[in-house]
Structure 1
Amino acid sequence: MGVSFIGAGPGDTGLITVKGKRLIEDADMVIYPGSSINPEILELSDGRKINSWDLSFEEVIACIVDEVGRGRAVVKLHSGDPSLFEGTSLYLHALSERGIRGEIVPGVSSLSAVAASLGTELTEDQALIVIRPAGEPWKDDYRFESGSIEKLSGYGAATASAMAIFIGSRYIREIMDIVTYPPDTEVSVAYHASWDDEEIVTGTVADIADKVEEIGVKRSAIILIKS
């Protein structure tokens, strides 16, 4: 018996995969990252639910090891797709060291949901740059670290390529100050794309920070810059 790392999709319950839905329904334990998972998806399972938002990495591993050791089916849910900024490889490695097999079940990325809501294509030009701030930007005491955002935005501007920035909406002003796209480049900030409370703010590199701060920055929003 192993553990399934399932992409729960962007939020709309109709966008979870058939395989993901089946595994959730059959799970004895479902571990989920707080409010980033639609509660209706959690209702698919009659098993035990564990909110991992306030748990450490080691505590989550311990939960999985204990449950799998009892011969039970474990699902660890991820918002969107498990392969994008979800730390899945760290869990797979730690569990492998303990003799536990992990399976990744892909999901519809929240970025795909953003594109759908905007009615646009992500790769109209040469490339799509997908990035997040360096460090641990989900922590409350985080201090902004740009990482490669500035450098890669230069490539994006030079090739008219789009840039998607995850986990960065709280730092929208800092990000817009360092990207090298022209000031009039279109920028969208999408919160809860595909959810009932979806909210999308559009503007430019020059004014999007003011617009986002006016309505209140959302932790789970995605920034999409399109030349």
Structure 2
Amino acid sequence: MKVYFIGAGPGEPEYMTLKGKSIIESADILIYAGSLVNKEVLQWRKADSIVYNSAGMHLDEVIDVMVKEKEKDKIIARVHTGDPSIYGAIREQMDRLKDENINYEVIPGVSSFVAAAASLDKEFTLPGVSQTVILTRKAGRTPVPEKEDLKLLAAHQASMAIFLSVGMIDEVVEDLKTHYPVHTPVAVVQRASWPDEIIVLGNLSTISEKVKVANITKTAQILVGDFLGDDYELSKLYDKNFTHEYRKSEG
């Protein structure tokens, strides 16, 4: 028996990797995060496969489904939203499987933060603007380490993707304004890549009210930084006057 942790992507079924799709097609048992994963990714499953929705399950229940099949020749697909390594709570599952001597593998997926950038036609690492991307969240019911407080991270003024925090948009904006100028552009993308995707654009002085008007309270990315603007330098990668391993300068 083997367990595959699969990143199902942000919503659009075709963002599923070929390997992830292949595992779903062959899986005998599927445990998927039904509150976030698009159910259409299950369209590829075998007709006789068994499906569990983990939205209403706790950790012990999820692991029990896997353990009871331990001695059988089964494939289990544990389907997470986006990429399972980002806010996927997979480490605790993998450690439990190690304790049970159950073989597993992680198959990465497309995260919502890159799907949001794609929807906006933006590049996080614009030359001369930002070469750093910070993925983080605002402390809420789940805390974050003190050294990762949003106010401290804002000091870098890097490109930032904030998860799981749009319901606290006022607090997020106040934290960011401690270091980002108020004119810093902000984009909020709800359900990136889904048919009902919503995009709200503004800056730190306007975005909070716009998000409230749009009634966005969950399942949204908050993207912050000057990468959302239009001023940047051209890349050295394709500069005809720049020499690298594969091309000599024409200058």
Aligned mates of 2:88, 2:99 — CA distance in 1: 19
Provide the rounded CA distance (Å) in 2 between the counterparts of 1:215 and 1:68.
Answer: 47
Compute the TM-score of the two structures, normalised by the length of structure 1: 0.90
Task: For residues 66-92 of structure 1, give each alpha carbon's deviation from its aligned partner in whole angstroms, at most 9, with x where no partner exists.
Answer: 233433211111111111111111111
2:98 aligns to what? 96
Percent of aligned positions that are identical: 38
Q: Between Structure 1 and Structure 2, how many residues are aligned?
A: 217
2:80 alignment counterpart: 78
Which blocks of at least 5 consecutive residues in structure 1 are unaligned? none
Q: Tell me if 1:41 matches 2:38.
A: no
Q: 1:167 aligns with which of 164, 169, 172?
A: 164
CA displacement 1:188-225 (0-9 Å, x = unmatched): 11111111111111111111111111121232101100
> What is aligned with 2:149?
148
Question: 1:220 maps to which residue?
Answer: 219
Q: Residue 58 of structure 2 corresponds to which residue in structure 1?
A: 56
Q: 2:175 aligns with which of 175, 178, 183?
A: 178
In terms of Rg, which structure is larger?
2
For residue 199 of structure 2, give the secondary structure of its aligned residue in structure 1: strand
Q: Tell me the CA shift for residue 123 of structure 1.
A: 1.3
Q: Is the 8 A contact 2:162 2:223 kept in 1?
A: yes
C-alpha distance in structure 1 between counterparts of 2:193 and 2:220, whole Å = 12
Q: Which runs of 4 or more aligned residues in structure 1 lie more than 4 Å from their structure 2 counterparts after TM superposition?
A: none
State the partner residue of 2:133: 128
**In structure 2, distance between residues paired with 1:133 and 1:178:** 9
Distance across 1 between alignment mates of 2:41 and 2:33: 12
For the Cα contact (< 8 Å) 2:190–2:216, is it kept in 1?
Answer: no
Distance 2:95 2:7 in 1: 18
**What code does the residue aligned with 1:155 have?**
H
RMSD: 1.8
3-state SS, counterpart of residue 31 of structure 1: strand
- Give TM-score, length-normalised by structure 2: 0.82
Shift of residue 14, structure 1, vs aligned partner: 1.3
Match of 1:55, as an amino acid? M
More helix by share: 1
SS, match of residue 123 in structure 1: coil
Write the distance in 2 (CA, Å) between the matches of 1:204 and 1:146. 26
Preserved contact between residue 134 and residue 146 of structure 1 (Cα < 8 Å): no
Pair 1:43–1:198, CA change in 2 (3 A): same
